[in-house]
Structure 1
Amino acid sequence: MALVAFASAKGSPGVTTAGLVLGALWPRQVLLAECDPSGSDVAIRMTAPGGAPLNSDRGLVSLAAASRKGLGDEVILAHSQQLDGGLDVLLGVRSPEQIGGMGGLWHPLGISFNQMQAADVLADCGRVSATAPQLPVIHSARLIVMVCTATGSSVAHLRERLSSLVHHVDAQLGVVVVADPKQRDAVKQVWTVLDQMSVPVRHRWHLAYDPVGAAFFDGRGHGRLEKTQLIRSATDIAAEMSALVATPHDFDMAQAAFPGQGER
């Protein structure tokens, strides 16, 4: 299937929330992998089915210890957990200090994520810089999605990071702007900035900044999640992203080559 990497160039524009909500709406089997070296947010925010706490010792660190057996689907999934609601997640490190024990896992992990047969993988890579340890995961992705806000500072850092990434990846590039649905003009200004760059960012999405909807992915939600602006905006984004990375065997190649031949 395919690896989609989400990252930001600065601050906290909502990468984890974007990963959680898009994973919840993904139309195929999916695994959310926390690859942010700053530490796991999901273990703090979310619970296992029935409200039980997640096991913070089971995830990326335990996978690193078991990686000598290989990083096939079964090994990766054996270290994942299910969130209340059904989304499978591979928890990240508890603290940045644990990154030192990861060794050379990042490169084979990125390749294995992108080659999983059981599920697509959405990797929450957090803030990315030129020296970020999780860069090999980003470089292995089929689609790299940079998440930003519509502020000048966020867009400036986005431009810098995209200009650096484009020389090191062979992947489709996309940008998600997290902004109030009423800030359409500000979002259009971000698209204008991207149009003026030489970096080919073909895929662009506007994810609603919606504290009411985001609260559901922080363990504080009340009311009807499906009615929130966050879910309404994320539903189409999840469908579009999943279609972009769909593998060839998701299609009938004979039908694509000879349309109409089977419709008799």
Structure 2
Amino acid sequence: MALVALASAKGSPGVTTASLVFGALWPRQVLLAECDPAGSDVAIRMTGPGGAALNSDRGLVSLAAASRKGLGDEVILAHSQQLDGGLDVLLGVRSPEQVGGMGGLWHPLGITFNQMQHGDVLADCGRIGASSPQLPVIQSARLVVLMCSATGSSVAHLRERLSTLVHHVDAQLGVVVVADPKQRDAVKQVWTVLDAMSLPVRHRWHLAYDQAGAAFFDGRGHGRLDKTPLIRTATDITAEMASLVSAPPPQDFDMANAAFPPGDDR
């Protein structure tokens, strides 16, 4: 299976909301992992089956303690919980102060996420920078998606972060612009900025922001969720993301091996 990392260059243009939406719509088994060192939002926003409160002590911090004996699907899933609706989630730290106790977990965690047999992993990495502790998780991902709004300042930070990120990751890169459905021209301007940078950002999406849709993932929703612009656009984005990581990653071409394959005694 594969790891998909979602992050923002600055502020919070809805990374957690988008992660919850994509996780709810993901076509295969998936685990949402909160890797944002700023602290967990899911435990505050969402509930477990039947409206039960989530256990904020069970998640990334408890996994860090258990990981001293090794990581694997069973260990990670033992520290995850299920949201009302069925999405599995690994809750993040309660506060930034707990990040110091994570030790060297980030690197092996990223590798394990990308190799889980249980299903895919969506990692909500929050805001990232050159010294972000969760950067090893992003470096292990098959697909890295940066999110921004269609404002000038957000796009400027996106451009800066992408310029640095391309030197640190080998993953496919994507950008999601969270903007009102009517802001098509503003979204096109973001694509123009990316084209001018000549960066390998092949995957670009417009996630329609609407308060009614977002409210469902903040515990305040009412009415038909599937009728909201957020869900209509997220459905197509999720399907494309899942398809991108469903195929095995391309292998480097080995000229020597191609000319003299194993077992060839010529």
Give the TM-score normalised by structure 1. 0.93
What residue number does 2:172 align with?
172
- State how far apart, in whole Å, the 2-side matches of 1:187 and 1:68 are: 45
**1:15-54 mapped onto 2 (5 Å cutoff):** 15-54=15-54
Letter in 1 for 2:167: H
Deviation of 1:70 after TM superposition, in Å, equals 1.3
Q: Secondary structure at the match of 1:148?
A: strand
- State how far apart, in whole Å, the 2-side matches of 1:7 and 1:179 are: 16
What residue number does 1:121 align with?
121
- State how far apart, in whole Å, the 1-side matches of 2:152 and 2:13 are: 13
- State how far apart, in whole Å, the 2-side matches of 1:61 and 1:181 are: 38
Deviation of 1:199 after TM superposition, in Å, equals 1.5
What residue number does 1:219 align with?
219
Deviations 1:77-98 (A, max 9, x none): 1100000011000000000000
Deviation of 1:68 after TM superposition, in Å, equals 1.4
- State how far apart, in whole Å, the 1-side matches of 2:248 and 2:149 are: 33
Letter in 2 for 1:243: S
Deviations 1:182-201 (A, max 9, x none): 00000000000000113110
Deviations 1:193-232 (A, max 9, x none): 0001131100000001111000000000000111111100
- State how far apart, in whole Å, the 2-side matches of 1:70 and 1:27 are: 29
Q: CA RMSD in A?
A: 0.9
Letter in 2 for 1:43: A
What residue number does 2:264 align with?
none
Letter in 2 for 1:189: Q
- State how far apart, in whole Å, the 2-side matches of 1:159 and 1:175 are: 11
Q: Secondary structure at the match of 2:223?
A: coil
Structure 1 residues 248, 129: closer, same or farther in 2, change over 3 A?
closer
Deviation of 1:31 after TM superposition, in Å, equals 0.3
Asked if the contact 1:30/1:121 (under 8 Å) is kept, the reply is: yes
Deviations 1:89-148 (A, max 9, x none): 000000000001000000000000000011100000000011100000001100000000
Deviation of 1:71 after TM superposition, in Å, equals 1.1
What residue number does 2:188 align with?
188
Is 1:208 aligned to residue 208 of structure 2?
yes
Q: Secondary structure at the match of 1:189?
A: helix
Letter in 2 for 1:105: L
Q: Secondary structure at the match of 1:190?
A: helix
What residue number does 1:136 align with?
136
Q: Secondary structure at the match of 2:201?
A: coil
Letter in 2 for 1:55: N
Aligned length: 249
- State how far apart, in whole Å, the 1-side matches of 2:248 and 2:57 are: 36
- State how far apart, in whole Å, the 1-side matches of 2:45 and 2:124 are: 15
**1:55-70 mapped onto 2 (5 Å cutoff):** 55-70=55-70
What residue number does 2:77 align with?
77
Deviations 1:48-89 (A, max 9, x none): 010000000000000000001211101001100000011000
Deviation of 1:175 after TM superposition, in Å, equals 0.1
What residue number does 2:246 align with?
246
What residue number does 2:261 align with?
none
What residue number does 2:104 align with?
104
**1:3-18 mapped onto 2 (5 Å cutoff):** 3-18=3-18
- State how far apart, in whole Å, the 1-side matches of 2:247 and 2:46 are: 30
Letter in 1 for 2:127: R
- State how far apart, in whole Å, the 2-side matches of 1:118 and 1:183 are: 39
Q: Secondary structure at the match of 2:167?
A: coil
Q: Secondary structure at the match of 1:170?
A: coil
Asked if the contact 1:2/1:247 (under 8 Å) is kept, the reply is: no
- State how far apart, in whole Å, the 2-side matches of 1:247 and 1:178 are: 27
Letter in 1 for 2:190: V
- State how far apart, in whole Å, the 2-side matches of 1:47 and 1:23 are: 15
Q: Which runs of 4+ in 1 moved over 6 A?
A: none
